Amino acid sequence: MSTGWGPREEIASLADELVAARFEAYPIEASLLGLPGPHHRLTDYSVQGRQRTKNAVLAIARAATAVDPTVLTEQERITRELIVQQAMALVAEIDVRSEEFSVSDGLSSPALWPLIALPIITLTDGELAEGYLERLAALPRYLEMVAARQRSGIEHGLAPPGFLVRAGIAYVERYLGSRQDPLGAVTAQEPVSGFEERRDKLVADVVRPAYARYRQFLVDELLPAARPDGQAGLWWQPEGETRYAALIRVHTTTERSADELHQSGLAILDKLNAEYAALGKKVFGTSSIEDIFHRLRSDPVLRWADGGEMLHAARQAIARAEQAVPSWFGQVPTDRIEVRPVPAAEASGGSTAYYTAPPLDGSRPGIYYLNVTDAPQRYRYLAEAIAFHEAIPGHHFQVTTARGLSELPLLRRIAVVNAYDEGWAVYAERLADEMGLYTDDVSRLGMLVQDSMRAARLVVDTGLHAKGWSRERAVGFLRERTPMAPLEIEAEVDRYAAVPAQALSYMVGRLEIQRMRAGAQAVLGKRFDIRAFHDVVLGAGPLPMSILDRVVQEWATGLA
């Protein structure tokens, strides 16, 4: 721990120490960001390893709390608060022990995450290439450690429900059955002696047998011990209510209770009916919610012909957004983005879409992954809203803006704040309507469908984890209250069950940003400038909602 410096130097050092501690805990993150780090290592999910991480970040939080904020600049005070929030969020995540029950979601399951993350690391030099091979060699030991923690989860009453274990088994089987192993397609940008031969041998002789053994663990040990499908959430686990409340604070960065969020979601769904009725009258000639939902679900004209058509539409929407953003933002990043299909191993049970940020070294673009599996069952009208969410003016725009804030500490540029990240992306979907980016009223209906899903998440996530809902009840609620596609409904519910509270961050964050905007407009009146507001929200890097609220208020009152 740093000592002997003044408070301003202490804060800067502590911010860097927290980043280093996070990279030590999650070394793949450093590789994905294109930053120096332990590029040969995987996360240590042992009890001892998690405790070391917890002890390290708690010490950093205590040191930051001890610094007198009155001697700091405003930016340094923000950094100090962010250090504490990020440290305590990591502690909360460790205390929940999700590695003991997370088996199905590729973006959160410790066993499955390497299959997504390792193939997209850009091996720009020999060190990264050799580190990649070392990681492949380490995967058997890593998967054994994950399995050991999940055995411990059984003993502690943390076993996942059977439907998630079956989803995890199916995920591994898709990987093992894939014609081209994604781990075997990774190349080195600089010549490395025997890289391809060593890579192929490790994948065939080491990695794939290790995943086959992990699948057998899921089949032979975890599935027989799984909870019934009706016991889908944390509510059924020991101290589930307390652990879920902690995750709500982590993911929303607010003090809202599960009950408050549940009721908020129901109220938003009710309000959306008026917008559906107005657009439905124009598009379908009816204002009946039941009839509108039926048309959205069943009209074959609203389905895709194939995956190529989906990818083309996404690229077209992004190109239009790129042309429009200078009128709505003062600062416009220029980082490239590519649209790619979701990898085959995760597509069947995976998300509709997700975004992977570019590394800081610029070695590859940002990537918008779009799930094109079973394209004829997916809806055309969602394409634009999802593209605006994942790419521009959503995630890609926000993330690359933050990465470009070189005057701020690295922590301020890469902090993990779901309410900010996802809240901005959902705000971007509605902002795109103000920007005139939706091509027609059918696509604007897609915007409402996305709103329905995010509002329903508040109800279903809290239903599963705070009220004891079954998977069946959650699926039934989404079928009744949203026009989502059946294949997406089941995948969404499984995601909420597998990653408690994360889905709350989307609508909560958007509501907070909208509230801040309304407050600034009330203070500034005709002097309110939407470009300046957006630059303020994006110009401080990802922040918890309470800190961002103060930043926006101080900006508005300073101009009034």
pLDDT in tens, 186-211: 999 999 999 999 999 999 999 999 99
**Rounded-to-integer distance, Cα 258 and Cα 242, Å:** 11
Q: Give phi and psi for 142, each to the nearest 5.
A: -60, -50
Bond preceding residue 393 cis, omega within 30 of 0: yes
Structure confidence at residue 345 (pLDDT): 62
DSSP per-residue string spanning 76-96: HHHHHHHHHHHHHHHHHHHHH
**Rounded-to-integer distance, Cα 409 and Cα 73, Å:** 14
| Three-state SS annotation for 226-247 | CECCCCCCHHHCCCHHHHHHHH
Structure confidence at residue 106 (pLDDT): 80
| Three-state SS annotation for 181-244 | CHHHHCCECCCCCCHHHHHHHHHHHHHHHHHHHHHHHHHHHHHHHCECCCCCCHHHCCCHHHHH
**Rounded-to-integer distance, Cα 398 and Cα 332, Å:** 10
Written as tens digits, the pLDDT of the chain (560 aa) is 445 568 889 999 999 999 999 999 999 999 999 898 899 999 999 999 999 999 999 999 999 999 999 999 999 999 999 999 999 999 999 999 999 999 998 888 999 999 999 999 999 999 999 999 999 999 999 999 999 999 999 999 999 999 999 999 999 999 999 888 999 999 999 999 999 999 999 999 999 999 999 999 999 999 999 999 999 999 999 999 999 999 999 999 999 999 999 999 999 999 999 999 999 999 999 999 999 999 999 999 999 999 999 999 999 999 999 999 999 999 999 899 999 998 776 656 556 788 999 988 888 899 999 998 888 888 999 999 999 999 999 999 999 999 999 999 999 999 999 999 999 999 999 999 999 999 999 999 999 999 999 999 999 999 999 999 999 999 999 999 999 888 789 989 999 999 999 999 999 999 999 999 999 999 999 999 999 999 999 999 999 999 999 999 999 999 97
**Rounded-to-integer distance, Cα 214 and Cα 104, Å:** 13
Q: What is the DSSP letter of 338?
A: E
**Rounded-to-integer distance, Cα 157 and Cα 236, Å:** 9
Q: What sign has the CA pseudo-torsion 183, 188, 189, 194?
A: negative
The answer to whether 230 touches 470, Cβ cutoff 8 Å, is yes
Opening angle at CA 174, ends 172 and 179, nearest 5: 125
DSSP per-residue string spanning 410-454: HHHHH---HHHHHHHHHHHHHHHHHTT---SHHHHHHHHHHHHHH
Q: 370 has which bridge partners?
A: 341, 353
